[in-house]
Amino acid sequence: MTKKLTIGVIGLGSIGIRHARNLEKLGHRVIGYDPIKELQNQFNGDSTLSEDAYVIASPTPCHYDDILNFSPLNKPIFIEKPIAHRMIISDSITMVGYNLCFHGAVKKAKEWIDQGKLGTPLWANFTLAQHSIKEPYLRDGVILNWSHEIYLALYLLGPAKMKGSSTRLTDGKDDICDILLIHDNGCHSTVHLDYVAIPELRRTIIVGTRNAITIDLVEHYAVLVSPGKKIVDQVRFSGDWNQDYIDEMKAFIERCDNKRTLGCTPSMALDVLTICLQARKEAGL
């Protein structure tokens, strides 16, 4: 049984509060840190206790400095994606907040791919199109903020290099971006990200030499289809997004105990960040 830990949560915006509450549900103590005292007071825990680990959920521009500040404590760190606005490596980072590997449809698709049911991957498309209603100062551009689908491409199809991108800027912010990836296994992937689509669309298509896979993250289903359009296998799950976040925190706690779990590794997060920064550079950002 996992022991009860004291976790410091840095940044109590929407995702920080979600992690803090889920950690409390899992039986752990939470000490919150936020410039807004009303938020911090919700998670003041026992200030006499020292933290066993940290969750960094501050805004992306703060990630770089937060990593530098907390890494010397030599405690496990979970940091929200996209890890930073610029490259940084720290041995203290244990997990990064790309959590689509916990989504039921993604887990099933990964299982099909690992079992060889797809065959050799030929091409794929990853789409995250979702209207953003946040004020511009509260969000990153679409490349950094919607980088979950870049992670998903690497997670399902392996390492890749960016071969090109096309980005639309509106008022100096990237709100539409298309990225071309060439994976080490030869598969070609396109990643479409946008802030403008209504309603939300989060769909993945992967075509292989044997079959094809469609994943719909919003509808929580995955389908394996043969070249003759026959359904080989399919799954549908309940739409409980928060369970994915709970499972992610469970995995982080287990990693604090040196166990091997699902969850985005620092090295893969850096690969995602590399692609993001390349796309932003091509866009003049």
Q: Are 283 and 167 in contact (CB under 8 A)?
A: yes
- Tell me the whole-structure pTM to 2 decimals: 0.91
Secondary structure (DSSP) of 16-64: HHHHHHHHHHTT-EEEEE-SSHHHHGGG---TTSPPSEEEE-S-HHHHH
Predicted local distance difference test score (pLDDT) of residue 36: 79
Q: What's the rounded mean pLDDT across residues 214-220?
A: 96
Question: Residue 138 pLDDT more than 70?
Answer: no
The residues spanned by each domain of the chain are 6-96, 100-239+272-282
Beta strands in the chain (DSSP E): 6-10, 29-33, 53-56, 77-79, 93-96, 121-129, 160-170, 173-183, 188-194, 201-208, 212-216, 221-225, 231-236
> Between residues 82 and 22, which one has the greater pLDDT?
22
User: What is the token pair recorded at 71?
Assistant: 């890494």
Query: What confidence tens digit (pLDDT) does each residue in 88-117 have?
Result: 666 778 999 999 999 999 999 999 999 999
H-helix or E-strand containing 68? helix 60-70
Query: What confidence tens digit (pLDDT) does each residue in 10-66 have?
Result: 998 889 999 999 999 999 999 988 887 777 777 775 555 688 999 999 888 888 888
User: What is the token pair recorded at 6?
Assistant: 């004291």
Q: What's the rounded mean pLDDT across residues 168-176?
A: 92
Q: Is 269 helix (H, G, I), strand (E, B) or coil?
A: helix
Radius of gyration of the chain (CA): 19
The number of angstroms, rounded, from the C-alpha of 263 to the middle of its chain's C-alpha atoms is 9
Range with the poorest average pLDDT among 28-32, 138-142, 194-198: 138-142
Question: Residue 239 pLDDT more than 90?
Answer: no
Predicted local distance difference test score (pLDDT) of residue 49: 62
Predicted local distance difference test score (pLDDT) of residue 48: 56
User: What is the token pair recorded at 44?
Assistant: 């003041």
Q: What's the rounded mean pLDDT across residues 137-166?
A: 91
Q: How far is 20 from 39, CA to CA, in rounded Å?
A: 11
Question: Residue 216 pLDDT more than 60?
Answer: yes
Strands 6-10 and 29-33 come out as: parallel
Third-level CATH fold of 100-239+272-282: Dihydrodipicolinate Reductase; domain 2 (3.30.360)
Q: At what angle do helices 266-282 and 148-157 cross, to 10 degrees?
A: 120
Predicted local distance difference test score (pLDDT) of residue 71: 85
Third-level CATH fold of 6-96: Rossmann fold (3.40.50)
Predicted local distance difference test score (pLDDT) of residue 229: 87
Which among 41-55, 129-143, 247-261 has the top mean pLDDT?
247-261
Do the two domains 6-96 and 100-239+272-282 of this chain adopt the same fold?
Answer: no
The number of angstroms, rounded, from the C-alpha of 75 to the middle of its chain's C-alpha atoms is 22
Mean pLDDT (the chain, rounded): 90
Q: How far is 202 from 23, CA to CA, in rounded Å?
A: 27
